[in-house]
Structure 1
């Protein structure tokens, strides 16, 4: 038997088998049977191709179901592409990882569809905390809601829910969330979700003493917040005439950081008492 690349059939100096029967006859085997170009080249090509395909799959096409499956060396080096399955608060959401997007079959192949039920999504999503911003707090744990918290939550839900986003992951926080800078495409333009919230006056720049992440966008974020304040949009808007008649104050609103600090201090006093 001759391989297409094994040369001229009239070359009698080769010790390669001339038929499948000869190939199976161990008495006719020789060292050249396995080390000759006709056998060695296909083996090398097959091995390299298989290892490369496996590496590409593990690096770019393997679905990551939860934060516990993210390798430590992924942080600050990789991004995650997926669909937003739910919005939990005005600055965090759940992401169903869809590696490769539509090009790899997500959304149109029967076995690559994002679940639509809570049962189907349980333990299959990654909790994302939007980096660099802090949104007004909704009512929870017995605490009152901050002004504009519902507006911020509704805006984020409308902006990203059930949409595909790309999250550039920085680290895992103390609540098991992945802190990430998040981008979404709107009319073929890539938008920074955190930056858009700041422009709308629906978030402040994250001001915690530790754990803040901005990538390379900190100054851009701070400039956007200052512009929103100057334009009196969102949480920086002034009370209307009717509001002033009701006694609403025109002073600067309490930031999410100040809100958390105030409640944390009150909780410590209660525990001390």
Structure 2
């Protein structure tokens, strides 16, 4: 009687290698002590936290915002924008080149961190800002004649903020895709509210729209500044009060005239 040949040790090893190994077997066979070792775990957690925090700080404070439409809704009434006034449009609005972090972030001295010199290069790269709480005399638009003192108001605003660094505390985006904001600028080492200073000069009135007016916490101060300019007969208050027409009344009248043509 012949017995079947015995399998060699090498054949048994080959069978064991060919036998499928389940995922659970591999998981159980992994030495996890290396990953849970504090010398590995703590540096990994610190590195991950640092990366996540750096991304969050960059997105919230160091990411340059090119236009008003790129401002996230959560920024309004919580954040301010710092930058240089690149262009003044009308007497109560301007274009801001956002420079997050200011000079500490390299703006003005690091390569690639300068404002484009040509106006064409600024297209699509500035935030249109509307001064909150004030209304300046209207210039000539769409065939309408300019309002008295509109040229003086525009020249005043250019001299006061053009090419200067300002900080804008933003409230909302209006129907013209402008950011409505209280704007501050440093003049002779003092921080000045641009809207309030314009009211004091008699070259703007307190914004009197029935809805959508924004003042921040400064409405009372603005009304006092306007009243003082009236008493002192500054700017647009110099003439006969009977001949005075507010920017709001002017816009209503000219709009009605345009509709009837």
- TM-score band, normalised by shorter chain: 0.7 to 0.9
- State the match for 1:146 in structure 2: 147
Work out which of the two has the higher radius of gyration on C-alpha atoms and give 1 or 2: 2
Name the SS for the 1:58 alignment partner.
helix
Q: Does 1:261 align with 2:249?
A: no
Q: Give the Å deviation of 1:252.
A: 4.8
Aligned residues, how many?
Answer: 233
Alpha-carbon distance between aligned partners in 2 of 1:45 and 1:250, rounded to the nearest angstrom: 68
RMSD: 1.4
**2:80: which partner in 1?**
79
* SS of match in other structure, 1:89: coil
2:55 aligned with 1:64: no
SS at match of 2:242: coil
Any idea what the Cα deviations from partners look like across 1:146-186, whole Å, max 9, x if unmatched?
11111100000010001111111111111111111111011
CA 1:168–1:250 in 2, change beyond 3 Å: closer, same or farther? closer
Question: Hey, what does 2:192 align to over in structure 1?
Answer: 191
In the alignment, structure 2 segments of 5+ residues that lack a partner are 1-29
Between the aligned partners of 1:170 and 1:37, the Cα distance in structure 2 is: 47
Aligned to 2:55: 54
Q: 1:251 aligns with which of 225, 242, 249?
A: 242
Cα deviation, residue 187, structure 1: 2.1
3-state SS of paired residue (1:38) = helix
1:96-144 per-residue CA deviation (whole Å, 9 max, x = no partner) reads: 1000000111001011111111222110011001000000011121111
Alignment of 1:172-251 (within 5 A): 172-238=173-239, 249=240, 251=242
What are structure 1's unaligned runs of at least 5 residues?
A: 1-28, 239-248
